[in-house]
Amino acid sequence: MDPEQLAAVARELYRRRPEDFVAERTARARDLRKRDRALSDGVKALRKPSPAAWVVDLLAAQGALDDAVDLGPALRAAQEQADPRAISQLRRERASLVASLTDAGADLARDAGHEPSDVVLEQVGATVEAAMADPRAGAAVRSGMLVRALEAVGFEPVDLDGAVAVPEAVPDIDGRDAEPEPEPEPEPDAEPEPEPTPPRRPHGGTGRPRRATGGDPADAPRSSRPTQGDDSDDHDHDHDHVRQEARAAEAAARDAARAADDDLERLEDALDDADQRRRDLEGRRHDLEEELAAVRRDLDDAERETQRLEDDRDAAEERADEARTALRRARAHRRQVG
């Protein structure tokens, strides 16, 4: 099966409303069954997009995400160069783009007859930000085949596992044709690396270092207590431990969110299947009702025809009785005459 063919069908289906997706997917797979069985199976296996992913796919179909994705390299370059003025300006541009794209996505969803919730629009904004943070995520959102929302966590690569319906049709997701990943920058609130502790001098020496009483507050220690020797190392170790615990908590939260999304998707698919069965049964009931109405009409016609024939029979019997009576009278009269 050609991934591009499947991708073309997927992009078309992902522009349909989420509540119509299962029925449209089933109809398309059925239509392709006789012509291309492999493509039909691929279409049938396409996952239903989440509401936020559907809105992003609508934006991608309009080509509205290009400016946002193109802003990503400039942001990453400014962060690499530690240019605060450029970073501030680009962050304002990013916030403006995210807000305008979220509004545009909401309008597209409403035009399609589906009112997006505030939670869905927040996920749309987070997905646009992720597309700026990671070039692979940018390729994913521009593919028009996104099936779940994305989220950027710090400077880590965006998790794209199961995010795109046909990843084989988006080379940049596999790292081909993508710009090289920049080296991760330290997080803004990270502790600076401790400078080497100068060697201690014997007590009483005139060169013993003294504690600074002024200067830039950023250079002062976080604690007002004097620190010596291994205290800084212990503090750094504790800070690293806290950061590791925070990363582990974030990873656990992402796993839990992904599992919840998977459960929600399965339930939505089951609901869509049940709704499709209900529509099929309603259609069959409608057909049966029409057939029943036709049978009733035929029955009424048959009853009217039966009544007409019975009336004709009764009239024929009356005429026969009259004829027999006339015959008897004629015979009796003949006998009297003869």
In a structure prediction context, what are the per-residue pLDDT tens digits for the chain, which is 338 residues long?
A: 789 999 999 999 999 998 899 999 999 999 999 899 999 999 999 999 999 999 999 999 999 998 888 887 777 777 777 778 777 777 888 888 899 999 999 999 999 998 999 999 999 999 999 998 899 999 999 999 999 999 988 667 899 999 999 999 998 775 444 444 444 454 444 444 444 444 444 344 444 433 333 434 334 334 344 444 455 556 566 767 787 887 788 777 777 776 776 676 677 667 767 776 777 787 788 788 888 888 888 888 888 888 989 888 888 888 888 888 888 888 888 888 86
Helix (H) or strand (E) holding 165, with range, is: none
Domain enclosing residue 14, as ranges: 3-185
Does 214 reside within a domain?
no
Task: Supply the pLDDT for residue 225.
Answer: 42
Task: Supply the pLDDT for residue 233.
Answer: 58
Sign of the four-CA dihedral 2, 5, 11, 17: negative
117 Cβ neighbours under 8 A, 6+ residues apart: 51
Cβ–Cβ < 8 Å for 56, 307? no
Does 284 reside within a domain?
no
Task: Supply the pLDDT for residue 255.
Answer: 74
Q: Which two tokens stand for residue 239?
A: 């800070």
Does 78 reside within a domain?
yes
CA within 13 Å, CB half, 55: 31
Q: Which two tokens stand for residue 53?
A: 């992913």
Cβ–Cβ < 8 Å for 152, 137? yes
Query: Could you tell me which residues are beta bridge partners of residue 146?
Result: 164
CA end-to-end span of the chain: 108
Number of domains in the chain: 1
Rounded Cα–Cα distance for residues 238 and 225 (Å): 17
Q: Which two tokens stand for residue 11?
A: 């992009």
Task: Supply the pLDDT for residue 73.
Answer: 77
Task: Supply the pLDDT for residue 193.
Answer: 46
Task: Supply the pLDDT for residue 235.
Answer: 58
Own/partner long-range contacts of 99-107 (Cβ < 8 Å, ≥24 apart):
99/125, 101/59, 101/64, 101/65, 101/68, 101/125, 101/128, 102/128, 104/59, 104/62, 104/64, 105/55, 105/56, 105/58, 105/59, 106/55
Does 278 reside within a domain?
no
Rounded Cα–Cα distance for residues 61 and 144 (Å): 6
Does 14 reside within a domain?
yes
Does 144 reside within a domain?
yes
Task: Supply the pLDDT for residue 223.
Answer: 39
Does 292 reside within a domain?
no
Does 325 reside within a domain?
no
CB-based burial label for 236 (10 Å; 0-12, 13-18, 19+): middle
Q: Which two tokens stand for residue 3?
A: 């991934």
Task: Supply the pLDDT for residue 148.
Answer: 94
**CB 59: neighbour CB atoms within 10 A?**
24
